[in-house]
Amino acid sequence: MSGNRIRLDKLGVVIAAIAVCGVFLAPFATFRANRIVPGEARTIFEALPSWAAVTLLLVLAVAAIIALLRVALPWRLAASLAALAALMLLVGLAANHLTPPENTYARVSPASGFWLLNFAFALLAADSFTRLRLTPVARIAVLALAALAVAAILYSGSWNGLSILKEYANRADSFWAEATKHVTLALGSLAAAVVAGIPLGILCHRVPALRDAVLNVLNIIQTIPSIALFGILIAPLGWIAVHVPGAAEIGIRGIGAAPAFVALFLYSLLPVVANTVVGLAGVPPAANDAARGVGMTARQRLFSIEFPLAFPVILTGIRIVLVQNIGLATIAALIGGGGFGVFVFQGIGQTAMDLVLLGAVPTVVLAFAAAIILDAATEMTAFNGARNEAVTA
């Protein structure tokens, strides 16, 4: 390779290396005679009918070569999406191929090779998306399309042979009940934190003496590990439930959703209050002076100048809280608060890893989707703010 040397893409080299490991060194699927016995590894050729194995390898090889060469971004993106789609579609086929007919005990789940390949091409997709610099609306559209694609696969039933969906089939009702609890817990505590935190932030902005004290206390709370805080709250809430009339009737109890809700609310306060303070402090004095000049009252200034200008920063705080709450709500299951954590901890207890996945995967997906949507929303409001500023300037 002297003369016209081909310049390889460095990221492409990493991706191709991971993909090669995923294909040749790691199993594609795991087969188990029932849900808790140790699994047996199956390679791509063992797990798939030969036509499918060849197709998958071809798609992956072409995608890896495209990743290695320095080709235009849309091609790289298309290659990564094609590879991911092929993996997603064929893993369901592997389940049907490996499960003996009429056998309802056997379990097939994706194995490390499958996850490595997904990781490799997700890296390529993430890199392409980052470099494409999509607009916020386009990012949400991509997210919606991805969600639709997954929903279509789920609806078509081609994943039904996979172990995680067999776990789901066994507890479809409780899955949705826990999902509702999880989302209610995460969003409810966020809503409460916004309602309490924004006024508190405004107050802290106006009264500097209060600011340090409030932020310090919230910082300390944020530092306390979640199980510890859940545990510490059990005692006082239990006391309230017994001694305050009416408290038990509205659901305040020592264990269950109440301490989880209070803990998540307390964790949520710091990002909301701190970002409100930072956002308000960042309002340009000129904007405020101008508003004062045209005779706006303090209240009018707050609602029509300061708050809109600070909003993107506050929204960033809300994003942090939402992603954090979706993750932390998992731990609520330990104190009987429900949520996806129920499956995670049940699965750990029964060493049934597919049950762990049934709890963990929706949590990760929810947190990821929330991050994308709120990032896009923040960027849109910041953009509008900048435009408004430009118009007034």
Partner 1 sequence: MKLSLPVFLRLFVLALLICFLVRPDWFEPVFKPLTQNNAPVIYNHGSLLTLTLQHLRIVFIATSAAAAVALALAILVTRPIGAEFLPLSRSLVNIGQTFPPVAVLALAVPAIGFGEKPTLIALFLYGLLPIFENALTGLTNLPVAVVEAARGVGMNERQRLVKVELPLALPVILAGIRLSVVISLATATIGSTVAAKTLGEVIIAGLISNNLAFVLQGGLIVGILAVLIYDGLSAVERMLARRMGLSVARAA
Binding site for partner 1 (CB under 8 A): 9-11, 112, 123, 126-127, 129-131, 220, 223-232, 234-235, 238, 254-255, 323, 326-328, 330-331, 334-335, 341, 344-345, 347-348, 351, 353, 356-357, 359-360, 363-364, 367-368, 370-371, 375
Matching residue, tokens 């993909």: 19
Say whether 31 sits in a helix, a strand or coil.
strand
E strands present in the chain? 29-32, 40-42, 107-110
Report d(CA 162, CA 94) in Å as an integer.
9
d(CA 113, CA 90): 13
Distance CA 147, CA 149 (A): 5
Residue 264 structure tokens:
């998540």
- Amino acid at residue number 319: R
Indicate the residue among 49 and 231 with the shorter CB distance to partner 1: 231
* Structure token pair of residue 322: 């939402």
Measured from the CB atom, the residue of 73 and 286 that comes closer to partner 1 is 73
Nearer Cβ to partner 1 (54/150): 150
- Distance CA(23)–CA(112), nearest Å, equals 10
- Minimum CB–partner distance for residue 112 and partner 1 (Å): 7
Task: Look at strands 29-32 and 40-42 and give their pairing.
Answer: antiparallel
214/296 Cα distance (integer angstroms):
29
**Pick 209 or 294: Cβ nearer partner 1:** 209
By beta-carbon proximity to partner 1, the closer residue of 9 and 306 is 9
Nearer to partner 1, 4 or 130 (CB): 130
The amino acid sitting at 169 is: A
- Cβ-proximal residues to 25 (8 Å cutoff; 6+ apart), any chain: 113
Q: Report in angstroms how near the CB of residue 119 gets to partner 1 at its nearest.
A: 11
Q: Which residue has the tokens 């071809």?
A: 58
DSSP state of 162: B
Q: How far is the CB of 134 from partner 1 (least distance, A)?
A: 12
Q: How far apart are CA 358 and CA 344, in angstroms?
A: 7
Q: How far is the CB of 346 from partner 1 (least distance, A)?
A: 11
CA distance linking residue 119 with residue 109, whole number of Å: 17
What DSSP letter does each residue of 334-358 carry, written as one string?
GGT--STHHHHHHHHHTT-HHHHHH
Task: Return phi, psi of residue 43, to 5°.
Answer: -80, 175
What tokens were used for 266?
A: 């307390």
